[in-house]
C-alpha cells in the first residue's frame, strides 16, 4: 500500500537531485523504521526511538557496520530535512561490531584467465575496472569525454561520496577505446535522425547551462545501452548507459569458466588493482588517491601485501599485457 508520507520523502529527495540509489536506500530505511515502531509517524518519535531501532539492527539483525551507518544517515536526513528536528549528536545505541571482511583478491594469472574468458562485449569494461581501479558504476557511467588520451588517464566525476578524481589508464587499451568510441558514434548518428530523441541525460543544471550538450558526442555514455528508453523523471526518450546487472553476470560467468574458486564480483577487480599496485611497489598514498579514498585507513586494508617502495603509477594491466 502506498504511503503519502514516503512518497513525499521520495519527491523531496528527487527534487534536490539525490541519486536514485540514495533515494531508494533512504526510503527503505525510513519505511523499516516506521514499521519497527508499529507504523507510528516519525514526528511522534524522537532520539530514544532512533536509538532503539539502531540497537535492534546491531543486536537482533546483526547487520554490518556500514549497514547500520546507512540506516543512521537515512534517519538523520529524515529528522533534519523532513521533520525539521535534527537528531542529537550524542545518540546512545549499540554499534554493529561485525568484523570487517578482507577483500577478495585475484592473482595476476587469475585476472588473465578471467579476462580471456569473459564475454567480449564486457571485456573492455572489465579491463578498465582492473586496470584503473574503477567501481562498477563509475565504469558504466563513463562518458566519451572522460577518456584523456593525451595524459593516459580517466576522469571520474561524482564518484562515491560525490568526489572527482583522475586515475591511470593502461596505454594498451587505447585501440579498444577508440573502437568503442566509434561504436558510440554509430548509435549517435542513428539517434540524431530520430525526432523523438532528446539527447543524453546530463546531471544537475548542466542541461540548462549547456542546452546543446545533450546532443554532443562527448557527453554520451562510453558504454551505451542497446535500446532507447524513457527518462523516468522527464519522460523524454534517451539512450542510457549499459545495464550494470549484465556486467555483474558476465564477471560471474567468466570466473566460473576460469574455474576460479573465489567469490568473484566486479569489485574484486578493484581490490586486485589496489593489491597489485602495492605488490609492484607503489606507495599507499598514491594508491589511496587512485581509489578515491578520503582516509588512508580505508586503503590500509590492502597492506597485507608487502610494499617495496615505488614512484610512478603504472597500471597493472600494462604489466599483464606486456608479459
> Does the active-site annotation cover 41?
no
The C-alpha atoms of residue 133 and residue 293 are separated, in whole angstroms, by 12
**Which string of DSSP letters, residue by residue, matches 259-313?**
T--S---HHHHHHHHHHHHHHTT--HHHHHHHHT-SSHHHHGGGTTSPP----S-
Active site includes 108?
no
- 270 catalytic? Reply is yes
User: How far apart are the C-alpha atoms of 226 and 6, rounded to whole Å?
Assistant: 34
User: Which of the following is catalytic: 41, 160, 183, 308?
Assistant: 160
Catalytic residue among 241, 270, 271, 276: 270
Catalytic, out of 26, 122, 130, 302: 302
Q: Would you call 53 exposed, middle or buried from its count of C-beta atoms within 10 A (0-12, 13-18, 19+)?
A: buried
Marked catalytic residue, from 26, 33, 135, 276: 135
- Whether 135 is catalytic is yes
Place of cell 594491466: 317
Q: Is residue 293 annotated as part of the catalytic site, yes or no?
A: yes
Q: What does the alpha-carbon distance between residue 106 and residue 97 come to, in Å, rounded to a whole number?
A: 27
SS3 call for 73? helix
Cβ-contact 36, 56 below 8 angstroms: yes
Give the whole-angstrom CA distance, residue 5 versus residue 85.
Answer: 16
User: Does the active-site annotation cover 38?
Assistant: no
Please tell me what DSSP assigns to residue 200.
Answer: -
C-alpha span between 315 and 69 (Å, rounded): 33
Q: What are 171's three cell numbers?
A: 596505454
Q: Residues with catalytic annotation?
A: 135, 160, 267, 270, 293, 302
Amino acid at each position: 500500500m502506498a504511503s503519502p508520507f514516503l512518497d513525499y520523502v521520495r519527491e523531496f529527495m528527487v527534487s534536490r537531485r539525490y541519486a536514485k540509489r540514495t533515494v531508494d536506500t533512504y526510503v527503505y530505511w525510513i519505511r523499516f523504521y516506521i514499521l519497527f515502531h508499529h507504523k507510528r509517524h516519525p514526528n511522534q518519535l524522537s532520539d530514544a526511538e532512533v536509538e532503539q531501532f539502531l540497537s535492534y539492527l546491531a543486536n537482533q539483525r546483526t547487520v554490518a557496520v556500514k549497514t547500520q551507518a546507512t540506516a543512521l544517515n537515512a534517519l538523520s536526513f529524515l529528522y533534519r530535512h523532513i521533520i525539521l528536528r535534527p537528531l542529537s549528536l550524542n545518540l546512545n545505541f549499540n554499534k554493529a561490531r561485525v568484523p570487517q571482511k578482507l577483500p577478495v583478491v585475484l592473482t595476476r594469472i587469475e585476472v588473465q584467465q578471467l579476462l580471456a574468458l569473459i564475454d567480449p562485449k564486457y571485456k573492455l569494461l572489465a579491463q578498465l575496472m582492473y586496470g584503473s581501479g574503477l567501481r562498477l558504476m563509475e565504469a558504466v557511467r563513463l562518458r566519451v569525454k572522460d577518456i584523456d588520451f593525451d595524459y593516459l588517464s580517466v576522469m571520474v566525476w561524482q564518484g562515491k561520496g560525490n568526489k572527482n578524481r583522475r586515475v591511470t589508464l593502461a596505454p594498451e587499451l587505447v585501440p579498444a577505446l577508440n573502437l568503442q568510441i566509434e561504436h558510440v558514434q554509430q548509435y549517435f548518428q542513428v539517434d540524431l535522425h530520430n525526432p523523438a530523441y532528446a539527447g543524453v541525460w546530463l546531471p544537475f543544471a548542466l542541461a540548462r547551462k549547456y542546452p546543446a550538450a545533450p546532443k554532443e558526442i562527448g557527453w554520451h555514455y562510453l558504454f551505451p545501452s542497446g535500446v532507447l528508453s524513457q527518462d523516468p523523471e522527464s519522460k523524454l526518450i534517451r539512450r542510457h548507459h549499459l545495464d550494470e546487472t549484465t556486467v555483474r553476470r558476465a564477471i560471474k560467468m567468466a570466473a566460473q569458466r576460469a574455474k576460479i574458486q573465489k567469490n568473484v564480483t566486479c569489485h574484486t577487480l578493484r581490490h586486485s588493482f589496489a593489491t597489485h599496485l602495492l605488490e609492484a611497489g607503489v606507495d599507499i598514498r598514491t594508491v589511496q588517491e587512485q581509489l578515491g579514498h578520503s582516509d588512508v585507513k580505508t586503503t590500509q586494508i590492502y597492506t597485507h601485501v608487502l610494499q617495496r617502495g615505488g614512484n610512478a603509477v603504472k597500471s597493472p594491466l600494462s604489466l599483464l599485457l606486456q608479459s
